[in-house]
């Protein structure tokens, strides 16, 4: 089977957004629905990021990041925003996740938020200080503290 035969190769497979704003709205009704499985929402997030309407989807992705309580959806949304070079518009939400979200007890979204913030430090030098403070937060495991320190170092170098 070649990639054009697989659903992953077709942005319109499984209800993914097509060429109309109505399709995009329908996709986000699923993405934002707590009843939708993370797999279903994830497939749509990835399809939206690759669709011809991805530019129009940026504000919807940002709103979804603000409202999600799913670590796996947050990770995919952050990556989609980063891939669309639109993560800078979600700095407040990324900081909220990086400071610890009760819906992310395993810190799955935390890892991606910190990495994204360190990349954004080129455009927002004040993030270096935020990341340094996060690296010193109590309650981090040694591995988490090491990652936060590395992100702070990258942010310092970029700013």
Please tell me the total number of residues recorded for the chain in this structure: 159
In degrees, rounded to 5, the angle at the alpha carbon of residue 99 between the alpha carbons of residues 136 and 31 is 150
Q: List, for residues 1-22, the tens digit of each pLDDT value.
A: 333 333 344 444 445 566 677 8
pTM comes to 0.85
Q: List, for residues 109-149, the tens digit of each pLDDT value.
A: 999 999 999 999 988 999 999 999 999 999 899 999 999 99
Tell which residue, 121, 116, 128, has the closest CA to residue 87.
Answer: 116
Alpha-carbon distance 66 to 146, whole Å? 27
What's the pLDDT score for residue 101?
87
Enumerate residues 6+ apart whose C-beta is below 8 A from 105. Answer: none
Q: Give the pair of three-digit tokens for residue 36.
A: 């939708």
Alpha-carbon distance 30 to 32, whole Å? 5
């Amino acid at each position: 089977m070649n990639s054009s035969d697989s659903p992953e190769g077709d942005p319109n497979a499984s209800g993914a957004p097509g060429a109309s704003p109505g399709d995009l709205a329908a996709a986000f009704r699923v993405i934002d629905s707590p009843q939708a499985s993370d797999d279903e929402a994830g497939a749509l997030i990835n399809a939206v990021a690759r669709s011809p309407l991805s530019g129009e989807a940026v504000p919807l992705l940002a709103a979804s990041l603000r409202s999600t309580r799913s670590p796996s959806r947050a990770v995919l949304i952050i990556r989609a925003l980063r891939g669309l070079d639109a993560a800078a518009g979600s700095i407040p939400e990324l900081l909220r996740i990086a400071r610890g979200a009760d819906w992310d007890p395993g810190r799955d979204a935390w890892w991606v938020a910190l990495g994204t913030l360190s990349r954004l430090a080129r455009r927002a030098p004040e993030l270096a200080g935020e990341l340094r403070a996060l690296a010193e937060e109590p309650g981090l495991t040694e591995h988490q503290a090491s990652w936060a320190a590395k992100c702070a170092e990258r942010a310092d170098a970029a700013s």
